[in-house]
A = this chain, B = another copy of it.
Amino acid sequence: MEFTVVENGGVCSPKGYRAAGVTAGLKPSGQPDLAMLVSDAPAVVAASFTSNLFAAAPVEWDRKIVRQETPVRAVVVNSGVANACTGVQGAQDAKVMASYAAEKLGIAAEEVLVSSTGVIGKMLPMDIIRHGIDLAVESLSTDANQKAARAIMTTDTAEKRIAVKMTIGGKEITIGAMTKGAGMIAPQMTLCTSHPRQATMLAYFTTDAAISRNALQDALGRALDNSFNRIVVDGDTSTNDTMVVMANGLAGNAEIHRESPELDEFAAALEYCAQYLAKAMVLDGEGVSKFVELRVFGAIDDASARQVAEAIARSPLCKTAWYGQDPNWGRILCAAGYSKVPFKPTQVDLDFDDVPIVRSGLAAPGTTDEEMAAVLKNRSFRVKLCIGQGPGRFVLWTCDLTHDYVKINADYHT
């Protein structure tokens, strides 16, 4: 790798970014609930949003901005209320959230992206939002990596952030990022060009690289496909999923274009950050006790491999077996068997880490129950399924289904 991880990094690590995380008063707990991120210079933006038909009002606002292909300067994010299923009033509130922040920052409303996460169907309390924006603007700082990352959390138990740096064309370039998301996680984001992609996970990336919009978008697409779009916590795809990358060019490098040899290096670094954060989201998923890397091989094509992997990742029986540390491999084969992907049961092999579990559709000879169970005692393990049909493969990161997941979601009252 051509990049190094920045210690204690985050969205303020690249040049020219300030952030804030404050308590506006949306959360009954009194925890921080409003974050702001501001670039000192106009930033090229690429973004990706949920494919859910009930895309939230802030998502609709952001899509409009991103499609204009004009630079942005700021992002405002609140947690606690999702501003989804809120109709005309919700659209108005998203716009007011942007324009109020713009006014306080002395920029245009069209330079401000907004995001919300929390309960669906409630109107944003705009007085509280305005109060939060006031507080955020006052406390903007280059030292707010942690504060901003905390203010966007909902059921997350830990903040999620990272930054990396590299040298491109003799200049030091930094990428910073923060993300949130623990439940309602099965992002299916589509790229926001004229054709938007879709994530309630929220992810904000900043960089001081000079990079063209098209090149940034390519890098975002690659990062997304290899990170957030291949994680499943509960299989519910949110109304608010958002991934945004801002690039303000303050590193002073020669602009990276689609044809630049440097794009691959930049994209690899962005992908690294996205994948790190995506895995962190699964590890911090609601009630999660097991992190499972699901590798499906031998499908006719990658899409078929993905379909099998998703059936397993969404199966309550597979997920509860993992929680129980039970090598009940029949449930995994069963889920593959109803995934609607054709294959021959007699050609199926399954491994847990490097322990053979199934060979040719039957219990692997020689593997003991103790060997199987030993793998499942780990907090993190690999499930590798080969269906013996072709070269198609897919890797997906998922988790178990636990008592705490039920507790969190049966108790998360509106």
Q: Which A residues have a C-beta under 8 Å from some C-beta of B?
A: 51-55, 82, 84-87, 119-121, 183-184, 186, 188, 234-239, 314-317, 320-321, 323-324, 326-331, 333-338, 342-343, 345-346, 358, 360-363, 369, 401-403, 405-407, 409-414
Contact = CB atoms under 8 A, between A and B. Distances in A.
Contact of A407 (B53, B342, B403, B411): B403
A180 to B, nearest CB: 17
B87 A362 contact: yes
A147 B188 CA distance: 49
Contact of A413 (B315, B324, B329): B324
B403 A338 contact: no
7 nearest A-B residue pairs (beta carbon): A120-B330, A324-B410, A320-B409, A54-B337, A237-B338, A53-B337, A52-B337
Contacts of A334: 52, 54, 84, 120, 184, 236-239
Q: Which of A55, A329, A358, A362 has the most CB of B within 10 A?
A: A362
Contacts of A235: 314-316
Given A53-B345, A333-B120, A361-B85, A406 B315 contact: no
A324 B409 CA distance: 8
A85 B335 CA distance: 13
Contact of A328 (B84, B361, B413): B413
A317 B85 CA distance: 17
B317 A121 contact: no
Contacts of A412: 324, 326, 328
B363 A121 contact: yes
B406 A335 contact: no
What secondary structure prevails in chain A residues at the interface with B?
loop
A389 to B, nearest CB: 12
A24 to B, nearest CB: 21
B414 A53 contact: no
Given A85-B345, A87-B362, A342-B53, A401 B323 contact: no
Nearest to A407: B403
A362 B84 CA distance: 9
B330 A84 contact: yes
B188 A338 contact: yes
Contact of A85 (B85, B188, B324, B362): B362
A330 B82 contact: yes
A385 to B, nearest CB: 12
A275 to B, nearest CB: 23
A314 B237 CA distance: 12
24 contacts: A52-B334, A53-B342, A53-B345, A85-B363, A87-B360, A87-B361, A119-B330, A120-B328, A120-B330, A121-B358, A235-B314, A236-B334, A237-B334, A237-B338, A238-B334, A239-B337, A314-B314, A317-B409, A320-B409, A321-B409, A326-B410, A326-B413, A326-B414, A402-B410
A236 to B, nearest CB: 5
A72 B235 CA distance: 44
B406 A343 contact: no
A10 to B, nearest CB: 29
B53 A330 contact: no
A118 to B, nearest CB: 10
A338 B413 CA distance: 22
Contacts of A186: 338
A323 B405 CA distance: 12
Contacts of A183: 317
A228 to B, nearest CB: 15
A234 B317 contact: yes
Nearest to A240: B334
A361 B410 CA distance: 24
Contacts of A358: 85, 121
A117 B333 CA distance: 16
